[in-house]
Amino acid sequence: MADPRRSFVEVEYHGQDITEAVTETVISLQYVDKASNESDELNIDVHDRDGNWHNDWYPKAHVSEESSPAGYDYTEMAEALQRGTSAANLQRMIEESDLTPEQGRTLHTVTASAGWMEYARANPQYRGVEGKLKLIYDIKGETPPGEPAVNNAVSGTILRVKIHTENWDNEGGSGTLDCGAFEIDTVDFTGPPDKVAIKALSVPISTGTSREKKTRAWEDTTLQRIAQDIANNARLELIYEVESSIQLDRVEQSKQTDMSFLMDLCVRYGVSLKATDGKIVLFEESVYEAKPPVDTFDKSEVGNRIIDYSFTQNTSETVSKVELYYKDPKSGMVAKGEFAPPNPPETGQKLMLNERPGDMRGDNFRNGIDNGSGSSGGTFDTGMHPFNDITADFTRPRSDVTDNSNRICKARCRERNKKEWTCTLTMIGNIKMVGGVTIDLTNWGKYSGKYMVDISTHKTPGYETIVNAHKVLGY
Predicted local distance difference test score (pLDDT) of residue 375: 39
Q: Is the model's pLDDT at 438 over the cut of 60?
A: yes
The values of phi and psi at residue 326, to 5°, are -145, 125
DSSP structure class, residue 289: H
When pLDDT is cut at 50, 70 and 90, the band that residue 417 belongs to is very high
Which of 121-125, 147-151, 462-466 shows the highest mean pLDDT?
462-466
Q: Is the model's pLDDT at 374 over the cut of 80?
A: no
Predicted local distance difference test score (pLDDT) of residue 2: 58
**How far, in Å, CA of 13 to CA of 119, rounded?**
44
Instruction: Over range 72-88, report the average pLDDT.
Output: 85
**How far, in Å, CA of 318 to CA of 314, rounded?**
8
Among residues 151, 130, 137, 134, the alpha carbon closest in space to that of 69 is found at 137
Predicted local distance difference test score (pLDDT) of residue 210: 60
**How far, in Å, CA of 424 to CA of 185, rounded?**
28
**How far, in Å, CA of 326 to CA of 357, rounded?**
8
Q: Collapsing DSSP states into helix, strand and coil, what is residue 204?
A: coil
Predicted local distance difference test score (pLDDT) of residue 276: 79
Q: Is the model's pLDDT at 269 over the cut of 80?
A: yes
Q: How many CB atoms lie within 10 A of CB 4?
A: 7
Instruction: Over range 191-213, report the average pLDDT.
Output: 76
Q: Is the model's pLDDT at 391 over the cut of 70?
A: no
Predicted local distance difference test score (pLDDT) of residue 370: 42
Q: Which residue has the higher pLDDT, 31 or 277?
A: 31
Q: Which residue has the higher pLDDT, 122 or 254?
A: 254
Q: How many CB atoms lie within 10 A of CB 398?
A: 20
Same fold, 208-283 and 289-314+420-471: no
When pLDDT is cut at 50, 70 and 90, the band that residue 344 belongs to is confident
CA atoms within 13 A on the CB side of 29: 23
Q: Collapsing DSSP states into helix, strand and coil, what is residue 450?
A: strand
Instruction: Over range 170-194, report the average pLDDT.
Output: 84
Check: CB of residue 356 under 8 Å from CB of residue 326.
yes
When pLDDT is cut at 50, 70 and 90, the band that residue 182 belongs to is confident
* Mean pLDDT, rounded, of the chain: 80
**How far, in Å, CA of 233 to CA of 226, rounded?**
11
**How far, in Å, CA of 368 to CA of 154, rounded?**
49
Angle value at C-alpha 54, between 51 and 58, nearest 5 degrees? 125
Lowest mean pLDDT among 261-270, 351-360, 429-438, 440-449: 351-360
Among residues 284, 407, 377, the alpha carbon closest in space to that of 36 is found at 284
Please report, for the chain, the start and end positions of each structural domain, with discontinuous segments joined by +: 6-46+156-205, 75-140, 208-283, 289-314+420-471, 321-416
The one-letter amino acid at 297: F
**How far, in Å, CA of 78 to CA of 69, rounded?**
18
When pLDDT is cut at 50, 70 and 90, the band that residue 380 belongs to is very low
When pLDDT is cut at 50, 70 and 90, the band that residue 81 belongs to is confident
> How far lies 354's CA from each of 33, 339, 357, in Å?
34, 14, 9
When pLDDT is cut at 50, 70 and 90, the band that residue 147 belongs to is low
Partnered with residue 160 across adjacent β-strands are 12, 181
**How far, in Å, CA of 143 to CA of 406, rounded?**
38
**How far, in Å, CA of 161 to CA of 310, rounded?**
29
Which DSSP string do the residues of 303-337 spell out, in sequence order?
TTTEEEEEEEE--TT--SEEEEEEE-TTT--EEEE
Fold of 289-314+420-471: Elongation Factor Tu (Ef-tu); domain 3 (2.40.30)
Lowest mean pLDDT among 13-27, 64-78, 204-218, 315-329: 64-78
**How far, in Å, CA of 141 to CA of 210, rounded?**
14
Instruction: Over range 395-417, report the average pLDDT.
Output: 78
When pLDDT is cut at 50, 70 and 90, the band that residue 402 belongs to is confident
Q: Which helix (H) or strand (E) holds 250?
A: strand 247-257
Check: CB of residue 420 under 8 Å from CB of residue 449.
no
Lowest mean pLDDT among 24-33, 246-255, 305-314: 246-255
Partnered with residue 280 across adjacent β-strands are 238, 275
CA atoms within 13 A on the CB side of 277: 8
**How far, in Å, CA of 147 to CA of 68, rounded?**
8
Predicted local distance difference test score (pLDDT) of residue 52: 79
**How far, in Å, CA of 415 to CA of 432, rounded?**
25
**How far, in Å, CA of 292 to CA of 259, rounded?**
30
Q: Is the model's pLDDT at 17 over the cut of 60?
A: yes
Predicted local distance difference test score (pLDDT) of residue 170: 64
Check: CB of residue 20 under 8 Å from CB of residue 154.
no
Predicted local distance difference test score (pLDDT) of residue 149: 41
When pLDDT is cut at 50, 70 and 90, the band that residue 79 belongs to is confident
Lowest mean pLDDT among 167-171, 231-235, 247-251, 264-268: 167-171
Fold of 208-283: Phage tail protein beta-alpha-beta fold (3.55.50)
Q: Is the model's pLDDT at 11 over the cut of 50?
A: yes
Which of 106-120, 174-188, 428-442 shows the highest mean pLDDT?
428-442
Check: CB of residue 33 under 8 Å from CB of residue 40.
yes
Q: Is the model's pLDDT at 396 over the cut of 50?
A: no
Which DSSP string do the residues of 33-79 spell out, in sequence order?
EESSSS--EEEEEEE-TT--TTTTTSPPPEE-SPPPP--S--HHHHH
Predicted local distance difference test score (pLDDT) of residue 339: 94
Instruction: Over range 429-454, report the average pLDDT.
Output: 95
Among residues 458, 466, 381, the alpha carbon closest in space to that of 427 is found at 466
Q: Per the omega criterion (within 30 degrees of 0), is the bond before 357 cis?
A: no
Which of 160-174, 201-215, 341-355 shows the highest mean pLDDT?
341-355
Q: What percent of the chain has pLDDT over 90?
A: 30
Lowest mean pLDDT among 66-80, 142-156, 289-303: 142-156
Q: Is the model's pLDDT at 146 over the cut of 70?
A: no
